[in-house]
């Protein structure tokens, strides 16, 4: 959620402050539009909020809606609000709502996107490529990057999945001769990372981040010729698609109606190749980079920042 909100703020090119807030009970248990005086119920462990209120407020996630609504009200509508993701509260409380297609939201103030907003830009990828080229690419003719997520409320990695993953790593190298890069995320279980390292750690064609030092994630996105991403994270999938590289998705164990609809939409549009029982489709070439973030930033400039410049109030 931080990546989406900050990513949009960065694309707008304006000075901004990031505030991380939470609500104490019972405020945190109520829908955003039914939460009385949420600014009085802020968790002291988070950042403080006080006037002067901002010209533009970007929020993300259901639990931030109460604060966004309260600030909009306290500013008498002078603060324009953008909410990212389904707010699960009436849309009229926001100037703009950015929702995923699988949320099924409709309205004059709704912008529908196929991929999540994020912080990946061509400039950041170019910089990361220079920083990480020697470590990640070396002299390899081709590189395939495996980006690993981990368990969520709906998905998990069984031992059968782990064995399948290891077979894919070995198979991709055997078929293509590519150097294999693997980066676990914070959600990747230690048993998964340890098992991969035990199987391939001594191979000269294999490299795996050990979680220490600088994160190579942007470098991998920039330098891999193909990306294999576990399909448990909307953000990771969206960031991979922003590179313009072919993206193979690797479903975990489990099901989620909304998340599976997100993956299905991308597959139907030919943006990703979803791995089936037959294994990775290494002939999938993908297409141009897909990035909703600059498109949404342009809409915010036109609808909200332009209105503020003209002195209009909501």
Which CATH number goes with the domain that contains 41? Answer: 3.40.50
Q: Does any domain span residue 288? A: no
Q: Same structural domain for residues 253 and 183?
A: yes
Same domain membership, residue 249 and residue 154: yes
CA distance 62 to 84: 9
| Same domain as 154, residue 225 | yes
| Interval 117-164: pLDDT, tens | 999 999 999 999 999 999 999 899 999 999 999 999 999 999 999 999
Please give the residue range of the domain that contains residue 36: 2-117+294-309
pLDDT at 277: 81
Q: Using one digit for the tens of pLDDT, what is the confidence trace for 45-60?
A: 999 999 999 999 999 9
107 and 166 housed in the same domain: no
- Alpha-carbon distance of 214 to 237, in angstroms, equals 21
Is 152 found in the same domain as 113? no
Residue 299, strand partner residues = none
Domain with residue 261: its CATH number is 3.40.50.2000
Beta strands in 102-188 (DSSP E): 110-113, 143-147, 155-156, 179-183
Whether residues 10 and 134 fall in one domain = no
Judgement on whether residues 70 and 131 belong to the same structural domain of the protein? no
Same domain, 35 and 147: no
Q: Is the pLDDT of residue 311 over 80?
A: no
**Residue pair 313/73 in contact by the 8 Å Cβ criterion:** no
pLDDT for the residue numbered 278:
82
Within a domain: residue 289?
no
Domain identity same for 192 and 302: no
- DSSP assignment of 210-241 equals -S-SS--HHHHHHH-SEEEEETT-HHHHHHHH
Q: The pTM is what?
A: 0.91
CA separation for the pair 216, 230 (Å, rounded): 17
């Amino acid at each position: 959620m931080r990546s989406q909100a900050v990513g949009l703020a960065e694309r707008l090119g304006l000075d901004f402050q990031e505030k991380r807030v939470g609500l104490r009970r019972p405020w945190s248990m109520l829908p955003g539009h039914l939460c009385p005086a949420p600014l009085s119920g802020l968790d002291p462990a988070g950042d403080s909020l006080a006037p002067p209120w901002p010209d533009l407020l970007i929020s993300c996630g259901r639990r931030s809606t109460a604060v966004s609504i309260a600030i909009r009200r306290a500013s008498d509508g002078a603060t324009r609000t953008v909410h990212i993701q389904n707010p699960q509260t009436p849309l009229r409380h926001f100037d703009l709502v950015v929702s995923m297609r699988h949320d099924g939201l409709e309205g004059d103030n709704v912008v529908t996107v196929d991929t999540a907003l994020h912080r990946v830009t061509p400039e950041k990828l170019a910089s990361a490529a220079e920083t990480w080229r020697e470590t990640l690419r070396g002299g390899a003719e081709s590189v395939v990057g495996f980006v690993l997520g981990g368990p969520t409320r709906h998905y998990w990695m069984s031992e059968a999945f782990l064995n399948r993953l290891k077979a894919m790593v070995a198979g991709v190298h055997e078929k293509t001769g590519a150097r294999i890069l693997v980066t676990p995320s914070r959600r990747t279980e230690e048993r998964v990372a340890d098992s991969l390292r035990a199987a391939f750690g001594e191979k000269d064609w294999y490299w795996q981040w050990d979680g220490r030092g600088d994160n190579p994630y942007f470098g991998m996105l920039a330098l891999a010729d193909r990306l294999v991403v576990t399909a448990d994270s909307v953000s990771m999938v969206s960031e991979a698609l922003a590179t313009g590289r072919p993206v193979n998705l690797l479903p975990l164990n489990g099901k989620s109606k909304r998340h599976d609809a997100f993956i299905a939409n991308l597959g139907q549009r030919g943006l990703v190749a979803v791995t089936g029982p037959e294994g990775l489709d290494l002939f999938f070439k993908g297409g141009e980079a897909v990035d909703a973030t600059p498109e949404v930033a342009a809409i915010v400039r036109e609808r909200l920042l332009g209105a503020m410049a003209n002195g209009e109030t909501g």
